[in-house]
Structure 1
Amino acid sequence: MSKAQALVVDDETDILDLIKITLGRMDVQASTALTVADAKRQLQRGRFDLCLTDMNLPDGSGIDFLQHLSERYPSIPVAMITAHGSTESAVAAMKAGAFDFVAKPVDLKLLRNLVESALKLRGAAAPSDEAGGSGVRLLGDSPAMEQIRHLIAKLARNQAPVFVTGESGTGKELAARLIHAQGPRHEGPFVAVNCGAIPQELVESELFGHRKGSFTGAVGDKEGLFQAAEGGTLFLDEVADLPLLAQVKLLRAIQEKSVRPVGAQQEVPVNVRIISASHRDLNAEVEQGNFRQDLFYRINVIELRMPALRERPEDIALLAEQILSRLSQAQGSGTNASPWRLTAKAIEALKRHPFPGNVRELENALERATALADGDVIEVEDLYLAKCESKQARAPSASPGLDDSQPLEDYLSEVEKQAILSALDETHWNRTAAARKLGMTLRSLRYRLAKLGIE
């Protein structure tokens, strides 16, 4: 492959010289321009693998130039050079399609990381298959899922923070893994953390690490999750559960691209892409004072909404087939073919079901059905969906109540059970975090689990 070519646009000659020397040491040929007009002329004459442009130029704005590049030269990753501490400029640039940004004065290590990531897109963007060699796939042929695949492919080509929204069980972590797998960081680690499952007093240590002796129990140095994700992606699931103090430090880590371990005197540069997620409405959390507006502004550069399963019922048959196949393999059948078959009526019942727990609930329903079915044919009765369907059939304005044939005690037990299971699912069955989410003590949760027969 020939030497990589970069176009650097800035009206400060000392910045141009510094970047040109740095790129030269990386075996990247840099062409420079002082104005937008000069940069456009060079784009017409040559081919470039990367462009670095200042935000403010003598004859135009960097955002306008970025949009010109996006329209005329969409294959060139563009990084914006912004003023130090200008969060608004960085966010505006990435919303406009910038691959990444670097602040003045230019940190050469961060610049080299940025260039290395951008050049991994050279020639062809992402790995050839959707999974990117990671083994994860997004199932479904509905228009909603086709649109999600298209957006994921676009998001994989830049470094902008992504905020994944959607109900519990819609596949937010799967989407994050695919963005990572299809992007230039796919060879780096993907580190996922459920923010709600970390005890509040340990959040800072878990995210940023700590030094020996920095607090009781710190018997040695420990790297945090930011350092563990170096060169890759850090996925912050249920980010709304972070305490406010940790939110302040997370904001600084994202803006400065560095972290300070607990007990350390100096910050440590980190090269990670942030993808966050929550099933809660962060706008409402901001209004209620539970989540910092400046952090929300920073992590929500691009939003990816995962559709609920009830919004794509045409995908349910395919999902059910894959889930049954996986259950068959887990039970040691040694074959990809499922020994179980859903009747046409059972499939229709699944399509009508609202699935408040989405794909996770579908998996639970099918696992239960395989245990209860007589033989290899799964009937509607084996799915035990009737109660939920009858509630869904009521008018939206009606208050939820119990069926005429259902005793009050059974109804209340079912409501309690579903609330507990939902909290456990959301916290990946971390009982301490689930108890906190439910507003009860761990001891009380254990008592209820035993009472309801939940293992």
Structure 2
Amino acid sequence: MAKKPAKTPARRALVVDDEVDLADLLELTLLRMGLEVDKAHGVQEACASLDSTHYDLCLTDMRMPDGEGLEVVRHIQKKGLDVPVAVITAYGGTENAVAALKAGAFDYLAKPVSLEQLRTLVKSALRLEPAAEEEETEQLLLGQSCAIQQVLTLVDKLARSQAPVYITGESGSGKERAARLIHAKSNRAEKPFVAVNCGAIPENLMESEFFGYRKGAFTGANEDRDGFFQAASGGTLFLDEVADLPLAMQVKLLRAIQERKVRKVGATSEEPVDVRIISATHRNLAQCVEAGTFRQDLFYRLNVIEMRMPPLREMGEDILLIARSILGKLAARQGAPAPELGHEAELALQRYDFPGNVRELENILERAQALSDGVCITPDDLQLTITEREEPEITGGLDGKYPLQDYLDRVEKAVILEALEKTRFNRTQAARILGVTFRSMRYRMERLGIQ
């Protein structure tokens, strides 16, 4: 009788966090990825566990009642343990994150913890099998619509390049997800992906946050610190809301990109850096250049290849695909079955404009899940604050039909949107239905502000 092959033991992770809810969420996510999980609720308990058990991964919060996560990182380094460790920092805790990377951590997560980022981090730390890695990566952007398929095709091309990428799109349309997908598919995937919100950093701290500083460079600089560029070494630096950078910082960023060198605050020499720059903003950067708030030379450095993220309303039936995926993740987080979307709720979502895009959809569904009976989500549970796309009433009285051109534009827009919805936003097919040429269709969409 043939002997059965020995079963490969599951990899084991240690979660260190005194916040019970967050520790449980991390545990559930790791369990669903096939890992065994132990939890520790303080530094001492974590160090004891590391001394007595072999772990393949450690996730530790930065601040706990009996110490800091840095102590866990240093304990692993001191004992020579072969355990990749990542730290979880509070929002805006860049200084702690950089200190952890310097102490030996391989990556960090910012609160509130994104499960997509967590799974990407775990995949990188454990070097999961290619099939599993590809499956996790593809979940960053979902959809079968023409709009999202064009994005995915471009992502594959950009992943093979090292050129700077500039991602445009409305707030909440998934610009950071696209940047992470480019990184995950590139030859830099095993190196850090560092995301920076340029609008969230005080202007007087920008230079030290981006480039680091030397001990004694200013009051409070008690030790050398690396910045974002050093933290992203070998990987990707994602500059979100890059239009919010002040002009003085734009000059320094331009030099760093051109020379591939940075100078720490208080240092006398530059040091080389190897990072790929991906930038994004919901604002029109070309208009910012015209207005004099953004340097033209930096714009050309960042905008080597441009990629546009489509708003959710252009993605047709993908809205329901994404909604079901979000409901599944919310249910997994809570350890409960995901409620179904009722037919009327599906129609309401498909007809809604989503000014906040995927981010707004996530908020709507999280609220709806809490308000529903746990079995089926109804339109009342969705509580859509902005009404469905308005379709003009063509028959009846003359109220609202002046001026004539405005009324005709509303009618034309409603008909075009209906045709686009029927064809899942395939403009060529929609033009055929309407009996107009593709060029005429494109012109009408631009004139009416249909993206």
TM-score, reference length from structure 2: 0.57
Alignment of 1:68-147 (within 5 A): 131=134, 134=137, 136-147=139-150
Q: Is the 8 Å Cα contact of residues 155 and 181 (structure 2) preserved in structure 1? A: yes
Give 3-state SS (helix, strand or coil) of 1:388's partner: coil
- In 2, the alpha carbon distance for the partners of 1:332 and 1:374 equals 16
Q: What is the match of residue 303 of structure 2?
A: 300
Q: Is the 8 Å Cα contact of residues 330 and 338 (structure 2) preserved in structure 1? A: no
Deviations 1:25-72 (A, max 9, x none): xxxxxxxxxxxxxxxxxxxxxxxxxxxxxxxxxxxxxxxxxxxxxxxx
- In 1, the alpha carbon distance for the partners of 2:182 and 2:301 equals 18
Q: What is the match of residue 367 of structure 2?
A: 368
Q: What is the match of residue 270 of structure 1?
A: 273
- In 1, the alpha carbon distance for the partners of 2:338 and 2:136 equals 28
- In 1, the alpha carbon distance for the partners of 2:324 and 2:139 equals 16
Of the three residues 155, 164, 167, the one matched with 1:164 is 167
- In 2, the alpha carbon distance for the partners of 1:132 and 1:271 equals 28
Q: Is the 8 Å Cα contact of residues 257 and 271 (structure 1) preserved in structure 2? A: yes
In the TM superposition, residue 390 of structure 1 has moved relative to its aligned partner by 5.3
Q: Is the 8 Å Cα contact of residues 168 and 279 (structure 1) preserved in structure 2? A: yes
In the TM superposition, residue 188 of structure 1 has moved relative to its aligned partner by 0.8
Give the letter aligned to residue 383 of structure 1.
Answer: L
Q: 1:251 to 1:168 in 2, by over 3 A?
A: same
Q: Is the 8 Å Cα contact of residues 194 and 237 (structure 1) preserved in structure 2? A: yes
In the TM superposition, residue 141 of structure 1 has moved relative to its aligned partner by 0.7
Give the letter aligned to residue 209 of structure 2.
Answer: E
Q: 1:375 to 1:183 in 2, by over 3 A?
A: closer
Of the three residues 151, 155, 161, the one matched with 1:152 is 155
Q: Is the 8 Å Cα contact of residues 131 and 137 (structure 1) preserved in structure 2? A: no
In the TM superposition, residue 156 of structure 1 has moved relative to its aligned partner by 0.4
Deviations 1:395-440 (A, max 9, x none): 9969xxxxxxxxxxxxxxxxxxxxxxxxxxxxxxxxxxxxxxxxxx
In the TM superposition, residue 284 of structure 1 has moved relative to its aligned partner by 1.1
Consecutive aligned runs of 4 or more in structure 1 exceeding 2 Å deviation: 127-137, 390-398
In the TM superposition, residue 215 of structure 1 has moved relative to its aligned partner by 1.4
Q: Is the 8 Å Cα contact of residues 232 and 272 (structure 1) preserved in structure 2? A: yes
Q: What is the match of residue 330 of structure 2?
A: 327
Q: What is the match of residue 388 of structure 1?
A: 386
- In 2, the alpha carbon distance for the partners of 1:134 and 1:228 equals 22
Query: RMSD across aligned C-alpha pairs, in angstroms?
Result: 2.0
- In 2, the alpha carbon distance for the partners of 1:219 and 1:232 equals 28
Deviations 1:251-282 (A, max 9, x none): 00000011011111111100000000000110
Deviations 1:62-105 (A, max 9, x none): xxxxxxxxxxxxxxxxxxxxxxxxxxxxxxxxxxxxxxxxxxxx
2:183 matches 1:180 = yes
Unpaired runs of at least 5, structure 2? 1-129, 393-399, 408-451
Q: 1:397 to 1:161 in 2, by over 3 A?
A: farther
Q: Is the 8 Å Cα contact of residues 354 and 392 (structure 1) preserved in structure 2? A: no
Q: Is the 8 Å Cα contact of residues 204 and 262 (structure 1) preserved in structure 2? A: yes
Deviations 1:329-383 (A, max 9, x none): 11122xxxx4301111110110000000001111111111111123411111111
- In 1, the alpha carbon distance for the partners of 2:365 and 2:352 equals 13
Q: 1:390 to 1:186 in 2, by over 3 A?
A: closer
- In 2, the alpha carbon distance for the partners of 1:161 and 1:281 equals 18
Deviations 1:293-347 (A, max 9, x none): 10001000000100000001210111111111111111122xxxx4301111110
- In 1, the alpha carbon distance for the partners of 2:361 and 2:225 equals 39
Q: Is the 8 Å Cα contact of residues 193 and 237 (structure 1) preserved in structure 2? A: yes
Unpaired runs of at least 5, structure 1? 1-126, 399-455
Give the letter aligned to residue 270 of structure 1.
Answer: V
Give 3-state SS (helix, strand or coil) of 1:360's partner: helix
Give 3-state SS (helix, strand or coil) of 1:275's partner: strand
Q: Is the 8 Å Cα contact of residues 130 and 182 (structure 1) preserved in structure 2? A: no
- In 2, the alpha carbon distance for the partners of 1:238 and 1:135 equals 24
Give the letter aligned to residue 367 of structure 1.
Answer: E
TM-score, reference length from structure 1: 0.56
2:284 matches 1:281 = yes
Q: Is the 8 Å Cα contact of residues 251 and 298 (structure 1) preserved in structure 2? A: yes
Deviations 1:225-276 (A, max 9, x none): 0011001000011111111111000000000011011111111100000000
In the TM superposition, residue 180 of structure 1 has moved relative to its aligned partner by 0.6
2:345 matches 1:346 = yes
Give 3-state SS (helix, strand or coil) of 1:389's partner: coil
